[in-house]
């Protein structure tokens, strides 16, 4: 069964793969995506349970003004959990971080970059991103070019971390399914304005 573009599965790329935003074709094309049948990522729980560690990741960025006071939120869910895909579930790890004055797109990308770094730190071998930013999903997949100079280093950082995982996917979801990450982002702005710490990172117990 053919897989929709927004649910393509990506494997690890060679270190010298030329998929930078300045590539003359402006897209990467198909890279041997594996079909995923049934509901969204139905097999991930069993995959993560075979000696590997994986996380489903939801991220968001907030900017009150564009640019304006900005922040990121990220929620990470262990793939072995039966409710990992439940948008209302309590995350195993999370990030709530104030970014100062930024655009919304920068805040959104920062959320992805920080979440991927945390997943790598926690020993993940696979990650599956559920994002309400279609821009980031399409750019990470290589179907859309990165034209904003402010986003190029963030795209590069995200792609670099993604290459360290054995498997990754990125899918676009409605904003309504991203309420946890959105709350974490807005909490960061409110906390910083109240004089609290700019970043709060929660890790799984013992990690």
pLDDT tens, position by position, 74-122: 999 999 999 999 999 999 999 999 999 999 999 999 999 999 999 999 9
Compute CA 29 distance to the chain's CA centroid, rounded to the nearest angstrom: 20
C-alpha–C-alpha distance, residues 180 and 125, integer Å: 24
Question: Where do we find the tokens 């968001």?
Answer: 60
- In this structure, is residue 48 part of a structural domain? no
- In this structure, is residue 162 part of a structural domain? yes
Considering the chain, what is the average pLDDT of its residues? 83
Count Cα atoms within 13 angstroms, Cβ side, for 7: 14
Asked if residues 154 and 113 have their Cβ atoms less than 8 Å apart, the reply is yes
- In this structure, is residue 49 part of a structural domain? no
- In this structure, is residue 90 part of a structural domain? yes
Here the CATH number for the domain that contains residue 119 is: 3.30.420.10
- In this structure, is residue 47 part of a structural domain? no
- In this structure, is residue 88 part of a structural domain? yes
Q: What is the mean pLDDT of each run of 10 residues along the chain (207 residues)?
A: 41 42 35 31 47 91 96 98 96 98 98 98 98 98 96 98 98 96 98 98 89
- In this structure, is residue 24 part of a structural domain? yes
State the total domains in the chain.
Answer: 1
Residue range(s) defining the domain that contains residue 130: 5-40+54-202
Which among 127, 111, 98, 113 has a CA at the least distance from the CA of 198?
98
Per-residue confidence (pLDDT) for residue 51, from 0 to 100: 60
- In this structure, is residue 96 part of a structural domain? yes
């Amino acid at each position: 069964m053919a897989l929709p573009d927004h649910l393509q599965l990506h494997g690890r790329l060679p270190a010298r793969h030329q998929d930078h935003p300045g590539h003359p074709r402006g897209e990467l094309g198909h890279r041997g995506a594996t079909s995923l049948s049934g509901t969204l990522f139905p097999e991930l729980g069993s995959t993560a349970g075979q000696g590997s560690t994986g996380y489903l990741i939801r991220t968001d960025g907030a900017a009150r003004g564009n640019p304006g006071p900005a922040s990121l939120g990220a929620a990470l869910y262990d793939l072995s959990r039966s409710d990992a895909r439940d948008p209302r579930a309590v995350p195993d790890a999370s990030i709530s971080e104030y970014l100062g004055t930024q655009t919304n797109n920068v805040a959104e990308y920062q959320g992805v970059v920080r979440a991927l770094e945390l997943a790598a730190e926690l020993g993940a071998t696979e990650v599956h991103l559920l994002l309400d930013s279609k821009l980031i999903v399409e750019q990470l997949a290589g179907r859309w070019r990165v034209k904003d100079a402010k986003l190029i280093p963030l795209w590069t950082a995200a792609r670099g971390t993604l290459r360290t995982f054995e498997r990754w996917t990125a899918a676009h979801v409605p904003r309504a399914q991203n309420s946890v990450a959105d709350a974490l982002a807005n909490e960061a702005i409110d906390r910083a304005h109240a004089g609290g710490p700019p970043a709060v990172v929660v890790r799984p117990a013992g990690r």
